[in-house]
Amino acid sequence: MTDLLEGEIGIATESDLVVARKAVRGAADSLGFSVTDVTRIVTAASELTRNIFRYAGTGVMRWHRLERGGSLGLELTFADDGPGIGDIEQAMQAGFSSSGGLGLGLPGAKRLMDEMEIASEVGKGTTVTVRKWRRKA
Amino acid sequence: MTGSISVIRVGDLLLVTVPPDPDDPTVGELQEGVLRAMEQYDAKGLVLDISTVETLDSFFARTIAETAQMVGLMGGRTVIAGMRASVAITATQLGLTLGGSLTALDVDRALRLLGRGAQGGAR
């Protein structure tokens, strides 16, 4: 049985984007996020999954439920062994893209989520971690 | 999901209902299908119904904006209809724009905007 609140999906093809979005939607829905927050989280996941596909070719998305001081949240991690990001500051600027994209992926995902961390080493790979906390009702 | 895009003719307009969570090839297919139909039916405009779309990411938005631009080059006008509130909020935060595309709350209003619909004419 697959746990909605925790899991891992390999990213290798375009259709994995759809699978990843579905998994994240399932997790965010079952954690009780609002419709708008679910949309924000799924959209951020779509951008970050596409980054793996576009820059590294393959990678993995992991997700799990968070609990901190009585608040619930969702953490998503996107990891690849791709070319890495040479200049993270530059990559975080809206409109910068090394792939001919819109350059909205990383800065956009950061705005949609509450927290974001990027660890990257050129030639080794990139790991992006994002978190969203559920607002108390 | 492939093959799930159908282009419907409404008079001299085209109506396309976008599926809720299309994969990238389906989004690409949408663009090609629309442009082929524009040519084939000598259409004057396009209504893209995105009312069931729950996730509009940058790739999807770019394809929509490009399609609208291409339809414009072919002499047609595009109206993007039915964007959900949650999608509008997310798209704005993400920094997406849909180029100069016209938008409408629903398909009925979109058709009226293009001069066709129940009231039979533009406002």
ipTM field: 0.87
Q: Would A1 be classed as within a structural domain?
A: no
C-alpha pair distances (Å), B23 with each of A83, B28, B29, B55: 25, 9, 10, 11
What is the distance in angstroms between the Cα of B35 and the nearest Cα belonging to chain A? 22
**pLDDT given at position B121:** 44
> A35 lies in which domain range?
6-133
Q: What is the pLDDT of residue A104?
A: 73
Sort out which chain B residues have CB atoms less than 8 A from A35's CB and list them. 86
| A43–B94 CB contact, under 8 Å | yes
Which pLDDT band holds residue B56 (cuts at 50, 70, 90)?
Answer: very high
Please tell me the predicted confidence (pLDDT) of residue A89. Answer: 84
Crossing angle of helices B85-94 and A35-51, rounded to 10°: 40
Here the contacts of B107-112 (C-beta below 8 Å, separation 24 or greater) are: B107/B15, B107/B47, B107/B49, B107/B51, B107/B81, B107/B82, B109/B81, B110/B47, B110/B49, B110/B79, B110/B80, B110/B81, B110/B82, B111/B10, B111/B13, B111/B15, B111/B47
CA angle A63, A48, A102 (to 5 degrees): 165
Architecture of the B7-113 domain: 2-Layer Sandwich (3.30)
B95 at A interface, C-beta within 8 A: yes
Task: Report yes or no on A28 lying in a domain.
Answer: yes
Q: Indicate the average pLDDT of chain A.
A: 90
Which site among B55, B64, B83, B92 would you substitute to test the A interface, given the most A Cβ atoms closer than 10 Å to its Cβ?
B55
Q: Is the pLDDT of residue A110 over 90?
A: yes
Task: Give the confidence band of B98 by pLDDT, cuts at 50, 70, 90.
Answer: confident
> What mean pLDDT is predicted for residues B58-68?
92
Contact list in A for residue B52 (CB cut-off 8 A) is none
Contacts of B59 in chain A (CB under 8 A): 50, 101
- The shortest CB-CB distance from A102 to any of B56, B58, B86 is to B58
| Phi and psi, residue A51, nearest 5° | -60, -45
**How far away is chain A from the Cα of B4, in angstroms, using its nearest Cα?**
15
Residues in B touching A42 (Cβ below 8 Å) = 54-55
Say what the pLDDT of residue A99 is.
63
Number of domains in chain A: 1
Q: Which band of pLDDT confidence, cut at 50, 70 and 90, is reported for residue A100?
A: low
Question: Considering chain A, what percentage of its residues have pLDDT values greater than 70?
Answer: 92
pLDDT at A63 over 70: yes
User: Which of B55, B58, B89 is nearest residue A108 as measured by Cβ atoms?
Assistant: B58
Tokens of A30: 């079952």
CA dihedral A113, A119, A120, A121 (to 10 degrees): 180
A50 within 8 A of A115, measured Cβ to Cβ: no
With a cut of 80, say whether residue A103 has pLDDT above it: no
Residue B16: predicted pLDDT: 96
Domain assignment present for A18? yes
Is the pLDDT score of B12 beyond 80? yes
Q: Output the CA torsion A82→A86→A87→A90 (10° steps).
A: -60
The CATH number linked to A31 is: 3.30.565.10
Q: Which residues of B touch A109 (CB under 8 A)?
A: 94
Cβ <8 Å between B90 and A39: yes
Query: Mean of the pLDDT values across residues B25-44?
Result: 93
Q: Check residue A37 and give its pLDDT.
A: 97
Confidence (pLDDT) at B2: 45
| Calpha distance B110→B45 (Å, rounded) | 10
pLDDT for residue A105 = 82
Asked whether the beta carbons of A75 and A129 are under 8 A apart, the reply is yes
Q: Cβ contact (<8 Å) for A111 and B94? A: yes
Domain ranges of chain B: 7-113
The verdict on a CB contact (< 8 Å) between B86 and A36 is yes
All residues of chain B having their beta carbon less than 8 Å from the beta carbon of residue A105 are 58
Residue B123 binned pLDDT confidence (cut-offs 50, 70, 90)? very low
